[in-house]
Structure 1
Amino acid sequence: MFNPQLLRSFSALIEAGSFTRAADKLGITQAAVSQHIRQLEQQTGPLILRGKRTLELTPQGNALRDYCQELEQADKRLQNRLEDKDKAGGEISVICPSSIGLRIYPLLLNLQQQRPELTIRLRVSPNHSVIAEVLAGRYELGLVTQQPDDTRLTAHKFTEEPLELVLPAGCTANSWQDLQALGFISHPDGHAMATRLLSRRFPGNPGMQSIRVSGFINHIGLIPEPVSRRLGFTVLPRYARLAFPRQALLQVDNHPVNVVDTLWLTHRAEWPITQRAEQALAWLRQHLSDDINAPLTISSAIYR
């Protein structure tokens, strides 16, 4: 067993990056912090590389850092079980990819308007960041497009999101030539998404390289904007399209070809979900089911 006071000094040293700042943070002397680290090193071996301008941990130091983080998470889990699980108010923390984030954030705000005792904290991030943040305990809930294989996480199917061929209002895409005439509004995942969908929609097509790029934007909420101005077509996840405020200026290709991604809800396996999070998930499922069952037509009522 490690002395908790020694571990606090070690954690403070990692967080602060120097003995002086760690001492200030703990309200003790620098000599005391140094002594605590030496006492730990008598049990573990060298923890830090001395003589470096910036703090650098040895393999033993990395192992002890992970141990300290696990203790911190264990304390949080205990607090949740003892105090927070049945608490109706408080924070709902979610991390997810940007497309589904565009859809669920307004829905969660609608819930907060009905229940002001809630606080919504949402961050959009790619899959690997979602998993890392949930594992670190910084977010209670995560949504990812690939089922995690980490045994520390629980994952369940949450909803589905089809890819859509999005055209300017009044346009059709009956042939590859129609798309070539329009031009492609690209985005960071644009060519990959377009290839996945259009290879099924137009089998044997000559590939995206045969279509001129008529625009590029890396903000997912703005991708439909040039399409609405008749500057080209794009391929997007449905929730990204639904978030665009001027739906009447868009047309979704209604050909019965489906490329659908599953969104997985993930959280720490050993960490009970709070009651408020369970209620928020039920709220989201209720409203997202309307999106799944809705036909591919444009509606002016985006958020309920």
Structure 2
Amino acid sequence: MVNPVWLKTFCTLVDVGSFTKAADKCFMTQSGVSQHVRKLEDALSTTLLIRSKKGIVTTEAGEQLYRQGKDVLQTLDNLAVNISQDPGYEGEVRLMSPGSVGLRLYPHLLDLQVTYPTLTINYRFAPNGDIHNAILNNTIDIGLTTACPVNPNIQSEPIGEEPLLLVTPRHVKSPTWETLCQLGFIDHPDARHHAELLLGANFEQYQTAQLRPIKQSGFSNQIGLILLPVARGLGFTVLPANAVAAFAQQAAIKAHHLPTPVSETLYLSSLAGRVLPQRAINISNVIKEQVSDSIGMHT
């Protein structure tokens, strides 16, 4: 491997044509310049310069090293400049969130990417536990969760709250416990947790139902499809407000605001101690703005 310091001294010497001028430009002594050239020649096992009273002449090997060495030094200079820069809207931002908030946020982030084509949004939907693990493994920059991280290696802040809604087919005007039992439950990865929060706060029969659970009428792990069986009259479910608002067939479902409202807090998280790149900081700020402006969410 060629020592870049020796290479820079050599290329400077060839540029200026004398050891005296090279020493001045490199802030070295003439003997220091000569030593660098000699070390370079020893490392490459070849003669690079012919020294004469009239100056220096590069050998064939020296000329080749000079041409290629200048390119290498320019690349190293560019690398240093690029690393020191931290553009606000260039490069990749990796983030994960539950599907509900993702349905609202992702289109806005894509709008931002259209405005800044050198920005890349890498967005994945996942449950809270997977998001926490991804933060700890440093495979994402930003994580949005509805569960406050307990691991001290994750730093987080609450940025909003999203209501949970009971969703039934359109014909159900005022849901009773008997009606829900007749319909059956459309399950999804977070459904049991959501049901415990919302139904547990609004139906006394829910605790007893844990001994004799409501029948399951269906299951989907795709956030955009969970309400499809509900729209077909096959059951009911509990979902965050943003997931309900994003469903295309609004005329076929009815979202119920129950007497005791229940909301989930949304947390913006990242790896503790990690300094996020400016692009990730900017995306975090955009997310906070969108969450505060989104339907059914407030800060």
Task: Report the TM-score range of the alignment, normalised by the length of the smaller protein.
Answer: 0.5 to 0.7
- Provide the C-alpha distance between the structure 1 equivalents of 2:84 and 2:246, rounded to a whole number of angstroms: 37
- The TM-score normalised by the length of structure 1 is 0.63
- Provide the C-alpha distance between the structure 1 equivalents of 2:259 and 2:290, rounded to a whole number of angstroms: 24
Question: 1:160-179 residue pairs with structure 2 within 5 A?
Answer: 160-179=161-180
Q: Deviations over 1:136-182 (max 9, x none)?
A: 32211112222223333321112222221011224223421222232
Residue 263 of structure 1 aligns to a residue whose secondary structure is: strand
2:209 counterpart letter in structure 1: G
Aligned to 2:25: none
Q: Deviations over 1:68-103 (max 9, x none)?
A: xxxxxxxxxxx9x95353443221210223333333
Residue 147 of structure 1 aligns to a residue whose secondary structure is: coil
Give how far 1:199 is off: 1.9
Q: Deviations over 1:242-296 (max 9, x none)?
A: 332222322110223222221211112322222222322232222222335579x
Give the 3 Å change call, closer, same or farther, for CA 177–132 of structure 1 in structure 2. closer
Conservation of the 8 A alpha-carbon contact between 2:161 and 2:266: yes
Aligned to 2:114: 113
1:284 aligns with 2:287: yes
- Provide the C-alpha distance between the structure 1 equivalents of 2:173 and 2:213, rounded to a whole number of angstroms: 19
1:257 counterpart letter in structure 2: T
- Provide the C-alpha distance between the structure 2 equivalents of 1:149 and 1:212, rounded to a whole number of angstroms: 34
Residue number among 251, 267, 270 corresponding to 1:267 in the alignment: 270
Overall identity of the aligned pairs, in %: 38
Residue number among 225, 231, 238 corresponding to 2:234 in the alignment: 231
- The TM-score normalised by the length of structure 2 is 0.64
Give the 3 Å change call, closer, same or farther, for CA 84–247 of structure 1 in structure 2. farther
Give the 3 Å change call, closer, same or farther, for CA 293–164 of structure 1 in structure 2. closer
Aligned to 1:93: 94
Question: 1:210-249 residue pairs with structure 2 within 5 A?
Answer: 211-249=214-252
Paired residues, what number? 217
1:218 counterpart letter in structure 2: N
> Is the deviation greater in 228-237 or in 284-293?
284-293
1:252 aligns with 2:265: no
2:290 counterpart letter in structure 1: H
2:151 counterpart letter in structure 1: D
